[in-house]
């Protein structure tokens, strides 16, 4: 078990957090004259709840995790940055990543002056052996496992994640942005045994709220308290909290959308493989497909000319485009244009 205080940045341990008007008063009141708000009702004239309790209660029921183990951020991207600020010492700590993977880990590391140590996935995009990982670890810091992984689409096993978390003397972040599209169980069950584990999920993908910017972190209460201490007081706005409550109230509808997207993903895999220009479609636990073409740049440009934007990932994985699963009509149009190419 890791002592969280030992891995928290010293200035963060020692600082006093900003105390917002809304977080100081705990009781019930009818008249609010504490925060210099405009008293005239606009629906948004009051500051939001700094701890987003109404939303945490719903998430708690959905994921079967206690509210004190939940942090909500302005997207997962904000949480990634907060983790660097809380648990990495600029110029001293390292961040360990398994490329090809999500780009924000590297960007946040650079902003925070943290050295990135790359431990590449193997040719099947699986995590390297535990021994290979261990030889690369020097300074403590953050270790990121993206599962299901962006842009490769595959997942790591619970055993691998558990083994890494149990043996790494820093924070292990499991980014589960795509977990709702996967048949695998989420890693939340590993939280009890691993005090250094943080699981990230988001409303941006399966829950259809990329524009609302709502990310979640699940961890032990001590880590959550550190994040609460350093976050901007009102980091999640009222409109977004309400939007998230709204989608959670129609969760069956969301689940139906997810299963349709998964069906489309399987259908698109088949149809893409029928095309001569397609060399390979990688298996996917996500809402996108990583597709290897004979000449990906040619395909990329031709699609652009037809007003279809996909993501060129050739810089990370030779000859590949990453294609999000769209609506049935959008997917059919994509196939139609690919056939013309």
Say if strands 278-281 and 215-218 run parallel, antiparallel, or are unpaired: unpaired
Q: Please report whether residue 218 would count as binding ligand PLP according to CB under 6 A.
A: no
Q: Please report whether residue 175 would count as binding ligand PLP according to CB under 6 A.
A: yes
Nearer to ligand PLP, 137 or 214 (CB): 214
Q: Please report whether residue 204 would count as binding ligand PLP according to CB under 6 A.
A: yes
Question: Which of 8, 108, 150, 154 is close enough to bind ligand PLP by CB under 6 A?
Answer: 150
Phi then psi for residue 95, to 5 deg, are -120, 130
State the minimum distance, in angstroms, from the CB of residue 150 to ligand PLP. 4
Nearer to ligand PLP, 102 or 181 (CB): 102
Q: In sequence order, what are the residues at sequence separation of 6 or more whose Cβ sits closer than 8 angstroms to the Cβ of residue 215? A: 72, 73, 74, 75, 76, 77, 78, 79, 200, 201, 202, 203, 204
Piece of the chain touching ligand PLP by CB under 6 A; list 36-44, 202-210, 244-252, 292-300: 202-210
Q: Which string of DSSP letters, residue by residue, matches 64-127?
A: T--GGGEEEESSHHHHHHHHHHHH--TTT-EEEE-SS--THHHHHHHHTT-EEEE----TTSPP
Site for ligand PLP in 89-118 (CB under 6 A): 102
Q: In the beta sheet, which residues pair with residue 179?
A: none
Q: In sequence order, what are the residues at sequence separation of 6 or more whose Cβ sits closer than 8 angstroms to the Cβ of residue 132? A: 119
Nearer to ligand PLP, 205 or 231 (CB): 205
Q: Which residue is nearest to ligand PLP (CB)?
A: 75
Q: Phi-psi category of 307—alpha, beta or left, where left has phi over 0 and alpha has psi -120 to 50? A: left
Q: Please report whether residue 75 would count as binding ligand PLP according to CB under 6 A.
A: yes
Nearer to ligand PLP, 4 or 100 (CB): 100
Compute CA 150 distance to the chain's CA centroid, rounded to the nearest angstrom. Answer: 10
Q: Please report whether residue 177 would count as binding ligand PLP according to CB under 6 A.
A: yes
Nearer to ligand PLP, 160 or 175 (CB): 175
Nearer to ligand PLP, 77 or 296 (CB): 77
Question: Which of 215, 287, 293, 322 is close enough to bind ligand PLP by CB under 6 A?
Answer: 215
Rounded Cα–Cα distance for residues 158 and 184 (Å): 9
Number of residues in contact with ligand PLP, rule: CB under 6 A?
13
Give the footprint of ligand PLP on this chain (CB under 6 A): 75-77, 102, 146, 150, 175, 177, 202, 204-205, 210, 215
């Amino acid at each position: 078990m890791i002592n969280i205080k030992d891995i928290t940045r010293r200035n963060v341990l020692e600082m006093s957090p900003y105390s917002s008007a809304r977080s100081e008063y705990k009781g019930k009141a009818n008249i609010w004259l504490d925060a210099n708000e405009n008293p005239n009702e606009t629906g948004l004239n009051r500051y939001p709840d700094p701890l987003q309790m109404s939303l945490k209660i719903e998430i708690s029921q959905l994921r079967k995790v206690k509210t004190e183990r939940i942090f909500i951020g302005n997207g997962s991207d904000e949480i990634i940055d907060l983790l660097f600020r809380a648990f990495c010492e600029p110029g001293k700590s390292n961040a360990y990543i398994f490329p090809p993977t999500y780009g924000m880990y590297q960007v946040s590391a650079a902003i925070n002056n943290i050295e990135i140590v790359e431990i590449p996935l193997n040719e099947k995009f699986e995590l390297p052996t535990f021994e290979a990982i261990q030889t690369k670890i020097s300074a403590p810091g953050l270790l990121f496992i993206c599962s299901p992984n962006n842009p490769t689409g595959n997942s790591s096993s619970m055993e691998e994640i558990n083994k890494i978390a149990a043996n790494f003397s820093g924070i292990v972040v499991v980014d589960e942005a795509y977990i709702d599209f996967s048949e695998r169980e989420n890693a939340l069950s590993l939280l009890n045994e691993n005090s250094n584990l943080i699981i990230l999920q988001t409303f941006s993908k399966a829950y259809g709220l990329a524009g609302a910017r709502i990310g979640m972190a699940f961890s032990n209460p001590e880590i959550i308290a550190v994040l609460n201490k350093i976050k901007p007081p009102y980091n999640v706005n009222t409109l977004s909290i309400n939007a998230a409550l709204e989608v959670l109230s129609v969760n069956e509808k969301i689940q139906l959308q997810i299963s349709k997207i998964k069906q489309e993903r399987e259908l698109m895999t088949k149809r893409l493989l029928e095309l001569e220009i397609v060399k390979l479609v990688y298996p996917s636990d996500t809402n996108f497909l990583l597709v290897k073409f004979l000449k990906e740049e040619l395909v990329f440009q031709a699609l652009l000319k037809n007003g279809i934007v996909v993501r060129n990932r050739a810089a990370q994985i030779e000859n590949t485009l990453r294609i999000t699963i769209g609506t049935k009509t959008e997917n059919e149009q994509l196939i139609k244009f690919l056939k013309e190419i």
